[in-house]
Structure 1
Amino acid sequence: MSTQIAVRLPDELVAELDSIVSSGEEPSRASIVEQALLRELRRRAWVREVEVLTAKGSSYEDLQGLDGYLLRSLDTLD
């Protein structure tokens, strides 16, 4: 099941969406927006996991430094 929603986007973003769709890279504006939203939801889940790992620390020697690496990696996602 799906629900239709309406959003307002700047003309420049819509032009980019239309360019992607017209090139055949994606089938529709909706598919691009859906993928972007899913990526953002995954990123937020990842941030929560990193926060938990950072707060609790890790007793596993092979995971030492992973939290710092993940936090630095988040900067490259935006």
Structure 2
Amino acid sequence: MTVQIAVRLPDDLVEFLDHEIETGAASSRAAIVTRALARERRRRAAERDAAIYAALGDDEDLATFTRQAAAQPMDVD
């Protein structure tokens, strides 16, 4: 399900959105906003996970995993 909402954005951000659409980088303003919000949600979840891991202290198995994960390329979308 989707819900239509109205947001007010500064002119420069709207220009950015429209430029992304004009260049084919995105199909619509909504697609760009959706992608940005999904990315922000993932970033916050990662911060929560990092705080949990930091509170747990050192764990060699986890350290091995994080070294391996850090060596992998990331897809930002």
TM-score by shorter chain over 0.5:
yes
Distance in structure 1 (CA, Å) of the matches to 2:61 and 2:31: 42
Q: Secondary structure at the match of 2:42?
A: helix
Distance in 1 between residues matched to 2:31 and 2:62, nearest whole Å:
39
Where does the alignment leave 5 or more consecutive residues of structure 1 unmatched? 71-78
- Distance (Å, rounded) in 2 between the aligned partners of 1:37 and 1:61: 32
Cα displacement (A) at 1:58: 3.1
Structure with higher RCO (Cα < 8 A, 6+ apart)? 2
In 2, the alpha carbon distance for the partners of 1:17 and 1:62 equals: 40
Would the alpha carbon gap of residues 49 and 62 (structure 1) be closer, same or farther in structure 2, given more than 3 Å must change? Answer: closer
* Residue in structure 2 matched with residue 52 of structure 1 by the alignment: 52
Q: Give the deviation of 1:12 after TM superposition.
A: 0.4
| TM-score normalised by length of structure 2 | 0.77
Q: Which runs of 5+ in 2 are unaligned?
A: 71-77
**Structure 1 match to 2:73:** none
Q: Distance in 2 between matches of 1:55 and 1:17?
A: 39
RMSD of aligned alpha carbons: 1.8
One-letter amino acid matched to 2:46: W
Identity %: 45
Q: Which runs of 4+ in 1 moved over 6 A?
A: none
Q: CA deviation at 1:43?
A: 0.1
In structure 2, do the counterparts of structure 1 residues 45 and 29 end up closer, same or farther at CA, with 3 Å as the change threshold? same
Matches within 5 A, 1:12-23: 12-23=12-23
Aligned length: 66
